[in-house]
Structure 1
């Protein structure tokens, strides 16, 4: 009897622990633009565009990439791209930036999901299936580039206006992260508000994508 009670108690505690983990809020994606104030091996302090301050922990496997502009003509059928877009009132997607991934990064983050540029923002990572000109819904002038981006669960038609940023990237050293450098930090924010960086983008010759 005593043994059965102990086993039941242990099972109950295990169930409670499992429920607690299930109910714990998931870390939220965060994307911060800022200027590095100070940096160490484990932590970075930055000033945000509005003058606010932020601090982020830096993991040993932090990814640092250098962004550089490319031409619209560098996007081709079968290119693997990541398109940050804003959903328009009629549901159409209008690109803010297109990241042309190097061949070695094909498949990274594949899919279509909400992004961190504000309400209505999306990210679509996939392979360019077709490139046409025209409009998407009521968006565009009829001569804009329209990409069909395909991923494993579907596809999206996205209008790429003339003012969209077209970028690519190459891996960079952490040595590029010095005080005064403008960066974009991608990571997560925990329930207690603490930020953990996963990757940091620096721009070649000061180039950075729009927020």
Structure 2
């Protein structure tokens, strides 16, 4: 009987987790091939220009650079703290002697045995741990860029170059983005506690929202071109 109840989980949960995975693989290809059509690609180019502008006029903008990067570190620190707190809470729930599946026996669609409940909570725990890892490494790279962005670059034989600082900052922001996307993936897994159908629904809704946020609309550019042609 328990095996029959697992049918929905075996079919819908992999499908719900596959949707965000396929979307982010497509987004990665889009960023690599057409970066100007994505928010991630445009922001990456803008950060490199910002680093070069800071280095060019470092005597006047050094405080601005430190404050801006500090705000970025604070955001990553907040998300890392949130992730590790959620990990601690989930670890306490898993190790508790109280049976967490008792209140859900009559409301959950699909399997809700002890093994399935443990699997759901352990999956959530791993997701938050990976998110914490990404945020922690991101803070490390951004901290290094925070120190090196005020390094003098006059010497031709300098080991630290503007491109190196740009690469450090980009690695930090890339890991922060990966951590955010892993953190978002916890929502479908969290809803899995209440049934596998919600996993597919929430994954589809999340992919549609991220699609709207990740891509740049070209309506404004088209309107400007049309106005110029009319003139």
Q: Please indicate, yes or no, whether the TM-score normalized by the shorter chain is above 0.5.
A: no
TM-score, normalized by length of structure 1?
Answer: 0.27
TM-score, normalized by length of structure 2?
Answer: 0.25
Answer 1 or 2: which has greater strand percent: 1
